[in-house]
Amino acid sequence: MNLEILCKEVCRLARETGSYIREQAELISSGDVEMKGYNNFVTHVDRESEKRLTDGLTKLLPGAAFIAEENTIQQSIGIYTWIVDPLDGTTNFIHGLPFFSISIALMYNDMIIIGVVYEVSRDECFYTWENSPAYLNGTQIHVSDAPKLSDALLVTGFPYYEYDLLDKYIELFVHVLKNTHGLRRLGSAAADLAYVACGRFELFFEYGLSPWDVAAGSLIVKQAGGKVSDFRGKNDFIFGKEIIASNHFVFEDFLSITQKIFG
């Protein structure tokens, strides 16, 4: 299997689906929005985008399994498994805010070997494959070289469930606000990770995430020279619902703060 060729075909598919999402962004209305759970929205655009992606990915790699957010295809894990978020940032999308993305990863056994994040509004495709550098629209990217947490701009997401951890999360926010360049919340974890990979942010952290939020972006950060872990410094960030991704310089300092607060 030629991973470079396959990755670039996935990029092409993401761009094609992104064009459909951009068209629909002008047409979406409140009547198109459904609730999957508390503060968890879905539209026909999410489902149609996922169908387009899974149909295209099946043609690219027949027989591969799927983990896909909207359950438009049978869910399973195989030797090769596509992990797909067809529209990460649906809340932004339905409110007309220009920050939402497509995330596609290919997992071989338990290792991510292709990662593609397409930020739709800015037409930015971030991608990589195993043993390759990371790229943005054909140009190689690298994480920031900011040497200290006090020099860092961080990005995060706000949980919409598991509020029992919220007090600890706010304690972490307070520390970050007092000791860094600031904290942003853009609304798409996949794009947050891609922005760490290209040096726009120094670090991303969040809990309550799903595999389709982080699988592609985590590989892009790693291949761009960054470091990724869960809140304990371990590798359970794809299915473990929590992630830290950053450049190497600020990682250990932030991890020690996270461990102290979360225990």
119 and 25 inside one domain: yes
Predicted pLDDT of residue 15: 98
Phi, psi values for residue 66, rounded to 5° = -140, 140
- Is the domain of 108 the same as that of 166? no
Residues 247, 144 contacting (CB under 8 angstroms): yes
- Give pLDDT, residue 172: 92
Which pLDDT value is given to residue 229? 97
If one counts every other C-beta atom within 10 angstroms of the C-beta of residue 170, the result is 11
Co-location of 119 and 168 in the same domain: no
**pLDDT at 39 (0 to 100):** 45
Q: Kindly state the tokens that stand for 228.
A: 């990724």
What range defines the domain where residue 48 resides? 3-141
Last residue of a domain, one of 141, 175, 195: 141
If asked whether residues 154 and 127 sit together in one domain, one would say no
Helix H segments across the chain?
3-25, 44-60, 90-94, 166-179, 189-197, 211-223, 248-262
Are 170 and 251 members of one domain?
A: yes
pLDDT at 48: 93
Say what the pLDDT of residue 72 is.
Answer: 86
**Boundary (domain end) residue, out of 122, 141, 160:** 141
- Do residues 9 and 113 both lie within one domain? yes
- The mean pLDDT values, 10 residues at a time, for the chain of 263 residues are 97 98 78 55 85 97 95 92 96 90 97 98 97 98 96 90 80 93 96 98 95 98 98 95 96 95 85
Q: 0.85 cut: is pTM over it?
A: yes
- Opening angle at CA 64, ends 63 and 65, nearest 5: 120
Distances (CA, A) of 153 to 117, 119, 156, 200: 21, 20, 10, 8
Neighbouring residues of 258: CB distance < 8 A, sequence distance ≥ 6: 172, 205, 231, 244
**Euclidean distance between CA atoms 171 and 177, whole angstroms:** 10
Amino acid sitting at position 8: K
Domain end (from 102, 120, 141): 141
